[in-house]
Structure 1
Amino acid sequence: MKISQQLIDKYNTPVPRYTSYPPANFFTTEFDSDAYIRALERSNSEEPKNISIYIHIPFCPKICYYCGCNTHLTRDVNKMRLYVDALKKEILMVRKYLDTDRKVSQVHWGGGTPNSLPIEMIEEIMELIHANFDFIEKPEIAMECHPAMLDENFIEKLVALKFNRFSLGIQDFDDKVLENVNRDPSIIPVQRLVDMIRSHKNTSVNLDFIYGLPYQDEKSFAATINKAIGISPDRLVTFSYAHVPWVKKAQKILETKGLPSAEEKLGMFTTGFRLLTENGYDAIGLDHFARPDDELSIAFREKKLHRNFQGYSTRETTGQVYAFGSTGISQLENAYAQNAKDTNTYVKSINEGRFTVEKGYELSPAQKIIRHVINEIMCNYYLSWKDAELRLNASEAEIRNTVNYETSILKQFADEGLLTFNEQEIVVLDQGKYFVRNIAASFDPGMKNATQKFSKAL
């Protein structure tokens, strides 16, 4: 599909990624630890009842220049020990506020580099979780893994701890690209790593890639995606590199090496999209691809896909997110709470028996309506006003007024071939998927006077 230069120029503007609503840069320091405790208690009476646990491991032995995550450069096992001990205390601190009849449907380890942690410390944390929480019958237990630090022994021990999804951060198969972004390649061939994981029953593999890095172009990215297709992961993710040097100063290094233009980035995405969909993968949401029999593909076809900071999920595994560790963001039905980013501050506060909430946000009823509309557009490329009315217990008129519904804006999108709409529904078309962040932003009243900075849409 050829996207016109006019549309690229018009819509390549800074807009939120909408992994949450409101976005994280709207969070405020007025939301403190006391507010978090109240939100924890309230979450027991809210839907979804399931619990999703996020474990943040901030440590990295080496910092990749493209990284936008909150990381801490270290190989010091003693620092890791202090951090893990505090994280375990935080889990128990939160546990006492949650009803015992609630079950865990998802555990996700992110970072940083979670598999840079000694396996013994991972075992301690998982054993604590299993000892203090009940699980649904088939929970998803996932870890984001740096393939350069993964071997057969580590995989076997993770599987023994009931990990069943492995997300391998490949980023690119081109060594020149990896070298220039300070990323170590996998020591073991990726195909062999995937085979090692799949040798265990009921395990799944994601391969994650980034486009928009120095020395990438459409041809080289096509080679990377073709190699990935040959490996045949269950899911594949193509993240658009988000250039936010005002947040992550290391990203300025990439400017000296030369970043692809918006047109070149779009060419990489469309090429990857074409290759993956021609080879049996379904396009899921903003940046995911999955096999047709994958639960995400099924949820997408049934218009039941969800998303949080950890990625896409089905309605069965969706839970309110309780985050542990420095910079972790809890995503409760009515509030967000982010822990302190500094690991020393986090450890000190938890050891003193205090939550370390640095900022957060309590949603108003109107914002919960906006969140639902944006989530439906972002996840399912579809919005049914009648379904929204039933789910939100609000009238269609109230919902439309809350999101500042304007027919003229939708008509403009429709005239440009981005969507179709009528009184019953909105359907994002294939061309509109490239600009879905822009479409979602049109339903966000908070964007009209926003002073926050965002990465560009493309």
Structure 2
Amino acid sequence: MKQELLNKYSIPVPRYTSYPPANFFNESFTAEQFRQVVLESNKQNPQHISVYIHIPFCYQMCFYCGCNSQLLKDNDIVLKYIDALKKEIRQLLPLLDHNRKISQIHYGGGTPTSQPVSVLKELNQMILSEFDCIEYPEIAIECHPGYADESYWNDLVDAGFNRISLGIQDFNEDVLKASNRKASRMPVEKIFEILRARGISLNMDFIYGLPMQTVESFSDTINKAIVLRPDRIVTFSYAHVPWVNELQKNLEKTGLPSVELKSKIYQTTKDLLTDAGYKTIGLDHFVLPNDELYEAQQSNTLHRNFQGYCTRRTTGQVYAFGITGISQLATAYAQNTKDLNTYIKQVNEGKFPIAKGYILNEEEQIIREVISQLMCNYTINWQNLADDMEISVDKIKSAINYNETALKEFATDGIITYNDETISILPDARPFVRNVAASFDKLLSTKENRYSKSI
């Protein structure tokens, strides 16, 4: 990527893990509205049920974290939280049509593996005992390998998990130390040996853009991952948002890589993984050729929700539990309170702990589909999209911010090719897909908010 393009396009834009982004959610959205949209979701698509469970507790606070998490220091509050979590699940499940099927359960945090496996198993059983599952559902958990021993890994499998994501972040211990991240308790090779013997699908998560990372050091990390051959490798671009988490200011003391260096790290990583046979999915995922995510991308049907990239087979409307959990329904978003004590109090009072939400109008639902298609598949065929949505191409283009001048500029800069029928992000310009997506976003110019930079 040319330096002038990095300078021009490395600007704050939404990540578009949802549309509209979460900063548009408003506090006028009520718990009663949430109850109503949950009931309506039973008659809307996708029909499958995707569950997200948020465990906010961490043994140690990583400086790079942008998630809602807190130090695990009071076991009494943890027990009260888990009890409230169970109550919230029992409160919502009766509202769902039990003819629907579970396609995904995903645990995020914080550190979900800060909890005993017996707790995680009970939560799984609460949900799985109420609904049938699709064939090969994805029951996944994000794991911090810094604290788990051999028995813990085996117990996770017995608890029903079939996909485990190892939050490695970097194999370089100097980088981990600068980020206040604990290295793996066991050799990662041993963890792979245990889980592979049990038939578990394995992800490895890394972050680039951290202090002390160089092209050479991160290449060493990726080469170690390649030797282990996980099913999926995720290379998250570090998002520096200290106004969200003040802990990130600690990274400024050591120094963050420049945009140019960060870009070189990404490109080198991509080259290494491609040469090793991995296929690129979206912005930051790499999968083996037989992965259904790659097959979906090949047919331009890759999708994503708050659980991450998925296929149409596995995607579902997302019902989230725990603090800051975001339910992602067909026509609405609803986010739980971020305050632990408020969450526990409201759930114990029999209330849904909703802090804010958003109901999408018809135009916004169209924009969401356009941006999702571009972010996932890097291409849009306007007629195919119109056929899928059962509306006209003209209606789509009038709903979005279809700006011919902006498209011409992207094309001149070598980022896209387009005509009246299609638009496609050029392969080497995919890191700029957020910029192109933002050009279609009518809401972006209506609200002043700070986002992470696209590169």
Q: Above 0.5 in TM-score?
A: yes
Which one is further off, 176-185 or 439-448? 439-448
Cα offset for 1:161?
Answer: 2.0
Pick from 314, 322, 333 the counterpart of residue 319 of structure 2: 322
Corresponding residue of 1:116: 114
Q: Distance in 2 between matches of 1:344 and 1:194?
A: 38
Unaligned runs of 5+ in 2: none
Cα offset for 1:330?
Answer: 0.4
Corresponding residue of 1:216: 213
Instruction: Confirm whether residue 412 of structure 1 aligns to residue 416 of structure 2.
Output: no
Pick from 178, 183, 194 the counterpart of residue 180 of structure 1: 178
% identical aligned pairs = 51
Instruction: Confirm whether residue 17 of structure 1 aligns to residue 26 of structure 2.
Output: no
Which one is further off, 372-381 or 393-402? 393-402
Cα offset for 1:76?
Answer: 3.4
Corresponding residue of 2:354: 357
Alpha-carbon displacement from aligned partner over 1:142-174 (angstroms, at most 9, x marks no partner): 000001122221122111122110000000000
What does 1:418-457 align with in structure 2 at a 5 Å threshold? 418-457=415-454
What does 1:126-145 align with in structure 2 at a 5 Å threshold? 126-145=124-143
Q: Distance in 1 between matches of 2:401 and 2:209?
A: 34
Q: Distance in 2 between matches of 1:5 and 1:59?
A: 41
Q: Distance in 1 between matches of 2:216 and 2:153?
A: 33
Alpha-carbon displacement from aligned partner over 1:283-305 (angstroms, at most 9, x marks no partner): 00011000010111111111111
Give the SS at the match of 1:147: coil
What is the number of equivalent residue pairs in this alignment? 455
Instruction: Confirm whether residue 170 of structure 1 aligns to residue 153 of structure 2.
Output: no
Give the SS at the match of 1:79: helix
**4+ residue runs over 6 A deviation:** none
Unaligned runs of 5+ in 1: none
Cα offset for 1:410?
Answer: 1.5
CA contact (8 A) 1:26 1:452 kept: no
Cα offset for 1:386?
Answer: 1.0
**What code does the residue aligned with 1:430 have?**
P
Alpha-carbon displacement from aligned partner over 1:96-130 (angstroms, at most 9, x marks no partner): 11111111000000000000111121122112112
Which one is further off, 425-434 or 182-191? 425-434
Q: Distance in 2 between matches of 1:324 and 1:63?
A: 22
Instruction: Confirm whether residue 372 of structure 1 aligns to residue 379 of structure 2.
Output: no
**What code does the residue aligned with 2:143 have?**
C
Q: Distance in 2 between matches of 1:155 and 1:304?
A: 34
Give the SS at the match of 1:182: coil
Pick from 257, 264, 267 the counterpart of residue 254 of structure 2: 257
Corresponding residue of 1:387: 384
Corresponding residue of 2:84: 86
TM-score by length of 1: 0.98
Pick from 14, 25, 28 the counterpart of residue 27 of structure 1: 25
Q: Distance in 2 between matches of 1:351 and 1:226?
A: 49
Corresponding residue of 1:197: 195
Cα offset for 1:422?
Answer: 1.6
**What code does the residue aligned with 2:122 have?**
E
Cα offset for 1:75?
Answer: 4.1
Cα offset for 1:427?
Answer: 1.4
CA contact (8 A) 2:117 2:159 kept: no
Give the SS at the match of 2:318: strand
Give the SS at the match of 1:369: helix
Cα offset for 1:448?
Answer: 2.1
